[in-house]
Amino acid sequence: MFLLKIQSHFAAAHNLIHYQGDCENLHGHNWKVEVEVGAHELDKAGLAVDFKVLKRETNRVLDLLDHKYLNEVKPFDELSPSSENIACFVFEQLCESLNDGNVFVKRVTVWESDNACASYVAD
């Protein structure tokens, strides 16, 4: 199997729901997002998936979140916009556009700071 990884980023504000502490207050992050995809085989050009496609699709999803108050963006208007839930959201959105039987999203990691991240991983 082949494994590819890209990094991107977005900035947004949020407040955690049902959290007792400072993060329940409105605050923001400059999130770094890592997307890893796997592929069983390469195409005729020797590629699993073109990095341009991977970056384009990732940025399309992140544009839904960038410079937004996440608590007003679906599904985070009902779901706490934690790093874990953001990683799952990005993962699921990317699966819809990238998974094709050969290529599949393997992991999405969302860094809310240089020292803290959460990942959502394919079974």
Handedness of CA 11, 13, 16, 17 (dihedral sign): negative
Separation CA 53–CA 15 (nearest Å): 32
CA-CA-CA-CA torsion sign (29, 78, 61, 58): positive
Tell me the catalytic residues: 23, 67, 112
